[in-house]
Each structure stands twice: as C-alpha cells, then as structure tokens.
A and B are shown apart, each in its own frame.
Chain A
Amino acid sequence: MASLPAPAPAPAPASADAGSIAGLAERLRKAVGVGRVLTDHAQLRTYECDGLTNFRVTPAVVVLAESRQHVIDTVRLCAKAGVPFVARGSGTGLSGGALPVAEGVLLVLSRMRALRPVDPDNARVVVEPGVINLWVTRDASPHDLAYAPDPSSQLVCSIGGNVAENAGGAHCLKYGFTVNHVLGAEVVLPDGSVVHLGGTAPEHPGYDLLGAFIGSEGTLGVATSLTLRLVRVPEAVQTMLVGFHSVEDAGGTVSDIIAAGIVPAAIEMMDALAIEAAEAAVHCGYPAGAVAVLVIELDGPQVEVDAQFAQVERIALARSAFETRIAQDAAERALMWKGRKSAFAAVGRISPAYFVQDGVIPRTQLPQVLSEIGRMADAAGLRVANVFHAGDGNLHPLVLFDDAVEGQAHDAEELAGAILDLCISSGGSITGEHGVGAEKRTKMAVQFTPEDLDTMQLVRCAFDPDGIANPGKIFPTPRLCGERPGPRTGEHPVQAAGLGEVF
C-alpha cells in the first residue's frame, strides 16, 4: 500500500545472541522438518512486512507450519528459549499485525488449508487457519449456505487472520463481524499447551475466552482450528447504485435509511476520487458526474426486499440522488461490487502512494465528519479519497501522496493520524476492522485510559505471562506481567528482544 522508505533496521538487542537463535533454528528443523524452517536472509525478506508496507522487520527464523503439531512444536521451543513468535496468515493485514520481531520466529500458517466437510444441518464447518475466506462460502454454497464475514480481501486473506483481527466486510452491517460467526477455536497458548474454546454448541459454561481471543491480533496464542457458523443464503438479494452531487447528501441518505428502521445487508460509499480511481482500474461504469455514490444491498424474503427497496429509493430521492441504478442480474451486481471491492488497489492508479486509514464514527455524524476531513486535507495540501462501510460509520480515508516529493509522506502520515483523532473526538474508534497492530499503538492511549489498558493487559498476562506472543502490538507500552506462579528466570523476552527501541 503505502510506500514509505523502510525504517532503519532494528538495533541488535543487547542480549540477543545469534548463537541462541541458531540453536533454536536447529531444534525447530529437527522438530518440524528442514524444509519448513527458513533462515536464509533472501527468503526471510519475503516476510518482512504485511499489507502495511512502510513497517518492515526481517525475522530471524520463519517456520512454515503444515500441521497443528508443527505449531505446537514451534511455540513450545520458542517458549523454552524465551524467543518471541509472530503468527502470520496471508499477510494482508493493514496495521502491521504480522510484522515480525527481529530476534524472533515468524510462524506462517498459510499451508494449513484443510476444510472439513460442511455440516449443513448444524450450519457449521471446521477449518484450518490458513484457509482462504472465500473458500468457506465456496464449500458452503452447494448447501445454500454462506460464510457471512466478507472482507474486501476475501480472495486472499485467511480465516486465522480474520479471527485475529475480528475482520469485517461490507455485509457486516446486517450480519455482524467475524466474532459473531466463529463458534469454536483450538488455540495453542504461548506456553505450547492446547485449549479448546467454544465449540459447535452456541454456548458453554465458563468465561467466553473465545470472545476475548477473537480480535486479539495474535497476542494471546495461535489458532490451529476454527469452527465457523454458516448462514442461509437469503431468498432475494437486490443491489442498487445511487449517484449524488454531494458527499453530504450521500451521508445523509445513509443516516436516513438507518433512522427509518431499515437494516440493509450493506451500504457502501465512495467519493469522487475513489470513483475516479475505480473507473480507471476496473471500468465499473459508475454514474458520470457523481461526487459520491452509494452501493446499497438489501436481502431477505422477497416481499420485504421489494418494499424496503422502494422506501430506500424514496429516501435517496429526497436527498437529491440524481441517478439510481438497479442491478438486473448477478453480473450487474458483481460489477457494482467490483468498483467498491477493488477501490483500495485502484487508488494506486491516481496516486504514486497512499495510506489506508481505518476509523469509526457514530453514523449520524457522517456528513459533518466527511466535510471536516475535506477541510483538513485542503489545509494539508493533500487529497483524500473516501471509500468505506458507511452503514456502520466505518471510514477508510485513503490519504494520497507523492513519495518523490520531500516531506509529503510525513505530511500524509500526520493527516492520517489527525483523522483518527477526529474519529475519537466524534465518539468513535481508531479502528473498525484493520486492527491496532504495530501502527496505531500510540493512539490506544488516546482512546483508552491507563486503567482500561492495564485491564486489557490482565488478559494478556493470563494467556501469555512471558509476553512472547506477538509482542509490541496493540499496547502503547510493553508491560511486564508481575508476579506469577512459578520461578522466573533471565531477562524478560520483551526487553531481551529490544522492543522498546524497535518501535
């Protein structure tokens, strides 16, 4: 995505001795097989970043796990050596969640790609973490079932990564997020032990540790198997594309639809710049002259969809919509969605570089916040393209810049950060679906009090007292877990890895 120059390589941590890492690599080779452990620098470089390419760290070792046992062996050996590990799925994350630790192990799960047969009567399927999101719906569709969470990256991102980020998607407005669709997980804890959280049944006695695990960005352990809930494909689906002459009118239409008690399957919005980019990339034929478009999808029983569709049309007209197109068939619907789903990448057509931001605001504030973002962009002398999940108020401002122009990347980063501050001051959140990762750690201290963050750390310490699972993510300051049962030896791995200096 963004193409900032890579930061200087992380300083070698004081205590990390290459010998101990080499020893660990040897033990890993013995445990999981020579071909599955990479230490060659050129090979390691492939894994130095995720979708957030301006953060890069080359890991010391990469393990390509092919089975649950490989994960257990790897985590156990890391725990024994006090070496941090970072799980990685498809590496499409946009917050640096899968950013490696320099003196640590990157545990790649993308080879664990088995799906068990769909259980149609229970509407469940059990999958390995490396399974690609879209494969689940592919396997479910012969039974008229689907996996609801549909991130725009669904052709490539993994279920394990989705679970770690609590991924959302266009249809989450009606169907909820990953956390609402994952019922069970087998998790390898940071000490190498295995627990089963949740299951096939909808509830279980005890704490909802599954709920806490989902969205924990790889900091509580590694998921090796997931039980997913599938939903029945609705009787009718209708999609419309509505063009507006102003962003405020489009935003107001979204608020009016929600206020009218309609829960569409999706309401997505794109502004003029995003439309321009999408047109250049995929020729989606959006209404000419539109300053903003909404893609609105309704689904459910046919009679309901028909009635609400008419209502939505009236609402849009009252907000001066100048063109409303209704998809007549699956191909037309796909084209409407293609423009939306390819928008991030498409922005590359109109700008040498850009940052993808992810923030949330209360949906009633869409018009004001979008205007304010426009003012902020003008003041910074930069362009911002907006393409986002409007129904949930989940903004994705794309801050465009030219990395060849001295200082522009920095200005763009500042603007992207200021937009997050605006989200917080509007009563929203610094991330709706991309996660905090390495990127937004400092903003956590703006959104939450020290007490809030310390309380989250209690969970972290219960799962991972040594802090070796994806250290340096989510929390603004690494924290030691204090007294705990059992003897403590040596330096804390977070300090040993020199993370204080890395970020």
Chain B
Amino acid sequence: MTAAVLDRRLGTADDAVAGVVPTEVVRPSGAQEVAEVLRQAQRDGRTALAAGGRTKTGWAPPPSSADVLIDTTGLDRLVEHTAGDLVVVAEAGLRLAALQQRLGAAGQWLALDPPEQGATLGGVVSANASGPRRLRYGTVRDLLIGITVVLADGTVAAAGGKVVKNVAGYDLGKLYTGAHGSLGVVVSTTWRLHPLPAARRVVVLDLADPLDAGPLAVRMARSTLTPSAVELHATTGGSGALVMVFEAILESVRAQADAAVALLGGGHQGDNLPDQFGKRPGGDGDLVLRLAFAPAALPAVLAALPEGTAVTASACTGVAYAALPAEHAAALPALRTALAPHDGTAVVLSAPPALRDRLDHWGPVGDALGLMRRVKDRFDPDGRLAPGRFVGGM
C-alpha cells in the first residue's frame, strides 16, 4: 500500500510514449497505490501519465513532459463477473483478451473488438478504441456502465454503477472515454456484457470500384438484416471488398447471408473471417488516420483520399481507418477540409517519427474547445496529467 514497496524504476527507451522517454516508471498494484503516486507527484510538482498494454501510445501526440509513467498492468484483477446479470467489474490493467477468455467460458463477451493485441481495458477506454462490430454493439460509451478513476490530486472517484440502467449523477464514464488519460488514471471499469453468438456466416463481395461500397452500405443499413459488422477493405484508385458478418443462431445467419447476397447482387459465403478483418491498415512508414463522418458520406470520403490509400471502413457507421503513404502527408489539411461538410474529422493514429511532430494531430475541434479546457482545468488545474497530449495542446 505504500510507496516504500511500490515497484519503481528509471524509464528506458522501451518506455517511450510517442517518442518521449519518461524519467521514472512505477507499477502500482491497486487503486490506492495509484493515488499515492499521484499525491506524491502533486507534492513534487511532477507530471504523470498512464499506460497499459502500450498498443496505442501513439494515438495522442507526444507529451510535453513525462516525469512519471504509471504502468497500469499491475491492476489486472477480474473483480466480479455476475454471469446472470451480464455484468463484469475488472481493473483497468487487465488485458481485454484475457477478459474475453474468462467471459467466454460462461458463453459471454464484452462486445468490443479493437484489433490491438495486448490492449488493456483502461487503454481501450482512454483511447476509445473500437472495431468492426461497433455496428451492432456500439462502442465503449455504449457498454461501460461504471468507472473508477484517480484524479490528479490522488482523489479516488467512481461514477455509474453495476447495473445496466442507471441515471444517478453525471455519467463521468463518458468523459474519461477517449480522454487519453488527461483527466485522471482509470483504475477500474464495469461493463455490460453480451451473450456469445452461436453461429457465424460471412459474405464477401469483391468490388472493382471501392466507391460502390457507399450505396451498397446504405442498402444494407436500410434493410432488415442485422449484421454484426459491414467492413470495407479497399485501396483508393484500386479495388476493394465488402465483408458482411452475421452472428446469431445458425438458422438466422444462414438465412441472412442468403438474403445479403440477394440484396447486394452477389458475394461469396463462408464461415471464416478474412485475414484483414478488423485490422487497422498500414505499416510503420504510413500516416494512419482515424476518420469519422456522416455514414452516407463514405463515397465522398473515399474520393477525398489520395490515390493508393489503404482503407478499412466500418461501412455503415461512418468510421474509417486510412493509411496514407507518408509522401501524401501534406494532403491532411485538404482532406480535413473535404471532410468538414460531412461533419467529418481526421485524427492521426500513427506516423513516422520524423513526420509526427509537424502534424496537427487532432485537427479542428469546434466551438466546444473552450469548454473542454474548462473541464480540464477543473480536473487537473496544474496540467500535470499527460500534458500536451490532448486537443488544443491540453
């Protein structure tokens, strides 16, 4: 419980967060230890930031200072799984895959499928990571029903609860979701679960022109079919494929896959997911972007991307991931301008180090930026949590 036994060491190059090496790394094993670390940091006027599986540390810009890195992987307990209630309470450092394995034994799962291997629950929440099945199940904001966070001054505060329906007090889980640790360190999360579907059927439709995915996705969305995911894999200027995943009881997935083929005028069926399914596109040399826009604007978004961009899109939801060859990085402002009429935004997920510092990571935030600053100022008045990583340089 005390700092004396706390696991702490000097930071190394392996601990770098978006290229910045922290001075010290601590690995607390409980919420009270996290609180102690943050109280100490406050006394010393030091900056602090948290990391779990470190799969998404590049999703926010480099911190302007990193005195203490709080490694959350010591907070890895599954606290409570009440199968009959379809609710689980788990510490923030527990890996999503490990949780899924435990839940799977009871025929349940947390309906989040971000592809980053080794991601922890706290990291998934803080980065608001999602995958293709968001079409059916939503994202963190739809599944997180309770949360405990340690604030910059060491205060341990909970919001929400352990029941799926609850409107008592402000829903602070929403605020911490996607906040990249700028408001506090998430230490515990409570989730609503779903039953694991009994069967799966996959329909893949090859597209000579990826732009065709737009009207086809709208046709799917307006039908009575209930796919878990409709994902487009494409290269702009090249070809693509639309992958439709049906997950339910066997009779239903069979009937729906047949209906999908009829509705779209083609496609081949199978039981297995294609290799790229659910993965983010791109490699180390690429500028990888997270795009969000009005769902029906998919063709316009594809058309606005430079030729040769690899795209994975959750086609019916208005979310896409795009990997631009680094030489096209200069196109980012123009892309943002093209997305704007569709309420679209482009956020950098990863970029070659040389490029990263020159990019506007988040892009325009709109007229609520001032309010966001006021929120940040209330939660972290000295700006000691993950400084410089959030929108507006917060």
Binding site for B on A (CB under 8 A): 119-124, 143-144, 165-166, 168, 172, 176-177, 179-180, 189, 194-197, 199-212, 214-216, 232-235, 255, 258-259, 261-263, 300-301, 303-304, 307-308, 360-364, 389, 392-394, 427-436, 440, 444, 447-449, 451-456, 458-463, 474
Chain A residues whose CB sits within 8 angstroms of the CB of B141 once the complex forms: 179-180, 208, 211
Contact A212 B171 (CB under 8 A): yes
CB pair A199–B343 under 8 Å, yes or no, is yes
> CA separation between A121 and B223, bound complex, in Å?
11
Are A301 and B365 in touch, CB under 8 angstroms? no
Question: Contact between A454 and B155 (Cβ–Cβ < 8 Å)?
Answer: yes
User: Which B residues touch A433, using CB under 8 A?
Assistant: 165, 167
Contact B159 A452, beta carbon cutoff 8 Å:
yes
Q: Which residue of B lies closest to A460 (CB)?
A: B170
A301 to B255, CA, bound (A): 9
A217 to chain B, nearest CB (A): 8
Closest CB-CB distance, A117 to chain B, in whole Å?
A: 14
In the complex, the answer to whether B128 meets A449 with C-beta atoms within 8 Å is no
B69-77, B116-124, B203-211, B375-383: which lies at the interface: B375-383
How far does the alpha carbon of A234 sit from the alpha carbon of B223 in the complex, in Å?
9
Which residues of the other chain, B, contact A177 by a CB distance below 8 angstroms?
165, 167
User: Would you give the 0/1 interface string for B111-138, flagging 1 where the beta carbon is closer than 8 Å to chain A?
Assistant: 0000000000000000010000000001
Q: Which residues of B contact A205 (CB under 8 A)?
A: 345, 347, 362-363, 365, 391
Expressed in whole angstroms, the Cα–Cα distance for A215 and B145 within the complex equals 14
Contact A194 B367 (CB under 8 A): yes
Highest count of chain A CB atoms <10 Å: which of B87, B139, B169, B248: B169
Are A301 and B84 CB-contacts (below 8 A) given A202-B292, A453-B169?
Answer: no
Q: Which residue of B lies closest to A194 (CB)?
A: B367
Chain A residue contacts of B304, Cβ below 8 A = none
Excluding A121-B295, A235-B224, 5 further A-B contacts by CB distance (< 8 Å) are A166-B167, A205-B365, A206-B366, A212-B172, A364-B85
If A180-B138, A201-B293, A364-B82 touch, does A123 touch B221 (CB 8 Å cutoff)? yes
Q: Is the CB of A259 within 8 A of B155?
A: no
- Contact assessment for B170 and A216 in the assembled complex, using a CB-CB cutoff below 8 Å: yes
Shortest 4 CB-CB contacts between residues of A and residues of B: A211-B174, A261-B195, A235-B224, A455-B157
Say which residue of A206, A255, A301 sits within 8 Å of B256 (CB atoms).
A301
Which residues on the B side are within 8 Å of A204 (C-beta)?
292, 345, 365-366
Segment among B8-16, B44-52, B175-183, B261-269 that sits at the interface with chain A? B175-183
Residue of A nearest to B254 (CB): A303
B residues in contact (CB < 8 Å) with A = 82-87, 107-108, 128, 138-139, 141-142, 149, 151, 155-159, 161-175, 177-179, 183, 194-196, 218, 221-226, 248-249, 251-252, 255-256, 292-296, 317-319, 342-345, 347, 362-363, 365-372, 374-375, 377-379, 390-391
- Rounded to whole angstroms, the CA-CA distance of A428 and B85 in the bound complex is 12
Shortest beta-carbon distance, A118 to chain B, in Å? 12
Query: Contact between B222 and A144 (Cβ–Cβ < 8 Å)?
Result: yes
A to B CB contacts below 8 Å, 7 in the list: A123-B221, A209-B175, A211-B175, A301-B255, A360-B166, A361-B163, A459-B170
Given contacts A206-B365, A304-B249, contact A179 B171 (CB under 8 A): yes
Contacts of B391 in A (CB 8 A): 205-207
Q: Are B165 and A168 in contact (CB under 8 A)?
A: yes
Choose from A168, A209, A303, A307 the contact partner of B372 (Cβ within 8 Å): A209
Cβ-defined contact, A259 with B161, below 8 A:
no
**Contact between B342 and A201, CB atoms less than 8 A apart:** yes
Q: Are B371 and A462 in contact (CB under 8 A)?
A: yes
Measured CA separation A458–B343 after assembly (Å): 29
Return A242 CB to nearest CB of chain B, in Å. Answer: 20
Q: How distant is the Cα of A456 from the Cα of B159 in the complex, in angstroms? A: 8
Q: When the two chains form their complex, are residues B179 and A255 in contact, meaning their CB atoms are under 8 A apart? A: no
Question: What is the chain B residue whose CB lies nearest that of A362?
Answer: B85
Which of A120, A172, A214, A474 sits near B169, CB closer than 8 Å? A474
A429 / chain B contacts, CB cutoff of 8 Å: 161, 163, 165-168
Chain B nearest CB, measured from A107 CB (Å): 20
A161 CA to B163 CA, complexed, in Å? 23
Q: How far is the CA of A453 from the CA of B296 in the complex (A)?
A: 41
Is the Cβ of A209 less than 8 Å from the Cβ of B169? no
Chain B minimum-CB-distance residue to A363: B85
Task: Please indicate which of the listed interface residues A165, A176, A459 has the most CB atoms of chain B within 10 Å of its own CB.
Answer: A459
Beyond A200-B343, A209-B175, whether A301 also contacts B155 by CB under 8 A is no
Instruction: A261 to B343: give the CA distance in the assembly, Å.
Output: 37
Q: Distance (Å) between the CB of A374 and the closest chain B CB? A: 21
Q: A17: shortest Cβ distance to chain B, in Å?
A: 31
A145 to B342, CA, bound (A): 21
Partner of B158, one of A122, A210, A452: A452
Q: Is the CB of B194 within 8 A of A203?
A: no
C-alpha gap A72/B375 in the complex (Å) = 22
Which residues of chain A are within 8 angstroms of B158 by Cβ–Cβ distance? 448-449, 452
Q: Which residue on chain B has the smallest CB distance to residue A199? A: B343
A307 touches B165 (CB 8 A): no
**In the complex, are the beta carbons of A189 and B366 less than 8 A apart?**
no
**Contact assessment for A459 and B375 in the assembled complex, using a CB-CB cutoff below 8 Å:** yes
A residues near B196, Cβ cutoff 8 Å: 261
> A205-B365, A208-B141 are known contacts. Are A431 and B87 too (CB-CB below 8 A)?
no
CB distance from A462 to the nearest CB of B (A): 4
Q: Which residues of B contact A214 (CB under 8 A)?
A: 171
Give Cα A462 to B128, complex, Å.
23
Given A205-B345, A209-B372, A364-B85; A461-B378 close (CB under 8 Å): yes
Partner pick for A458 among B86, B379, B390, CB 8 A cutoff:
B379
Interface pair B179/A207, CB less than 8 Å apart: yes
Partner of B162, one of A216, A362, A462: A362
- Whether the pair B168, A180 counts as a contact (CB closer than 8 A) is no
CA separation between A278 and B174, bound complex, in Å? 38
Among B128, B162, B368, the most chain A Cβ lie within 10 Å of the Cβ of B368
Q: How far is the CB of A162 from chain B (nearest CB, A)?
A: 11
Given contacts A120-B222, A429-B161, A455-B159, contact A212 B138 (CB under 8 A): no
